[in-house]
Chains A and B, each alone.
Chain A
Amino acid sequence: MNQETLLESVKSLPPAAQILPKLLTLLRNPDTSSYHIVDLISFDPSLTAQVLKLSNSAYYGVATPSYDLDEAINRIGFGETFKLVAVICGGKLVDQPLSGFCIDKGQLWEHSVACAIAMELLAQKSGEDTSVCYTIGLLHAIGKIVFNEHFADRYEEVFACVEKEGISLLESENRILGFNHAHIGAALLKKWNFSENIYVPIEFQYTPMKAESHLQLSCMIHLTYWIVAGVGLNFGKDAWAFNVDSKAFEQLEITEDQLHLHIIDVHKRLGEIKSDLGIAQKVHSIN
């Protein structure tokens, strides 16, 4: 199977997640008001209820809970509203087991949300758009879902090549399957009308210095992957079979101590989000 037939076989973006590129477009528009966002979100009653519930959580330090979406959005702001919608809708997209990668149900969600948090932390330092960064973190592994659907039975061969040749998982996918999950993930997001500043960094998440545009965002998702691995949230077989490009570190002008502090902060914030969403300690497949 080549890349084109693989992409053609993938269904359209699931309905729940179709809101994400639309919401990102709204956020980029300076004329957007809370009315436009309410209009988009309230189309889905379940999403509306979840956004209201989360906007009233302890994280936002609310004294009096809001029961009205417009009021809630104005209180927490557009950026925070986007993150809530992203974690609810994007989360559904990445909450599935990937048997080929030895990733259990819930693990990809936890990894992806942790990456979104880490991207947001790096965005606060670099001045990049936090909503864009959050989306990149949340959806960076979407190519793995597609690969799992089509090539799950070939991953034994991919892993054998990693171990025999001492190469990264990405290189092994290129050798055995002819292309890699980062590339397919980016192509898919492009097909689903996500903007270039989201799909380009996802394509170059393992090789950031090769990105001809959006270099900063590519370096951020590259280091994010390492930060999240440091919290123990990089799941699956040969989860550490990747290289870190130290030039990405130089590009972001971030110190080693700052990276270590990010590891602690991501761990703490993920715990808060899981608590807000009512998710207890996940029991991983390796139990």
Chain B
Amino acid sequence: MVDTFKTLGGAPSIGSVFSQRIVVGVGDMAISNSSNAILSTYALGSCVGVIAYDPLLIAGGLLHIMLPDSRLSAEKAIAQPSMFADTGLRAFFNGLQGLKCDLRRLRIMLAGGASVMNRNDMFNIGARNIKAVKQILYQEGLRVIRKELGGLNNRTVHLNMSNGVVDMKTPDGLQNFPLVK
């Protein structure tokens, strides 16, 4: 659970008592500038989660991409842009800029992109999601500071907006990744 529960000798802090968990579904996103918010997404399999945090503004977001390319269905991309890497990242950055985040200041982490064992490109949707996301971030000149990608397990991530720490859970256990030094 969040670190704030450990302050004051075990007593929960005011912030943690009023913390608000925002669950990001598959093909969805959330943007927040509330330091009480925890942005969570469950079971990132072949999907890729893009986690971004602006430490100066205490603002950030979480995007859960399901497929690499919106050309699959223009209709679905309009209805739910976050589903695809290209339209999703565009909407994500627009949302962050709407909160006055400076894209160059963003601390970005990627998680997910699990793939089946055989190397047939057709079925390695996780690898293709990773490639699409990395390509767009590269074109935008944005650096990724942490990557937890590939492998055989689903991942769940929580971004604690108060301190920019990402808790990542897999069947192997919990890991914490501070996005701010």
Contacts and interface: CB of A to CB of B under 8 A. Distances in A.
Interface stretch (B9-17, B133-141, B167-175): B167-175
B27 interface: yes
Interface residues on B, range: 35 or more
A244 B118 CA distance: 7
Nearest to A267: B26
Given A168-B117, A246-B122, A240 B43 contact: no
A29 interface: no
Interface string B60-76: 00000011000011001
A287 B171 contact: no
B40 A287 contact: yes
Interface string A234-259: 11111111111010010000001100
Contacts of A282: 42
Contacts of B156: 284, 286-287
Interface string B138-171: 0000000000000111111010000000000111
Nearest to B122: A256
B117 A286 contact: no
Given A243-B116, A246-B122, A260-B72, A238 B42 contact: no
A230 B152 contact: no
A246 B44 contact: no
A232 B154 contact: yes
A235 B43 contact: yes
A261 B76 CA distance: 9
B120 interface: yes
A249 B40 CA distance: 34
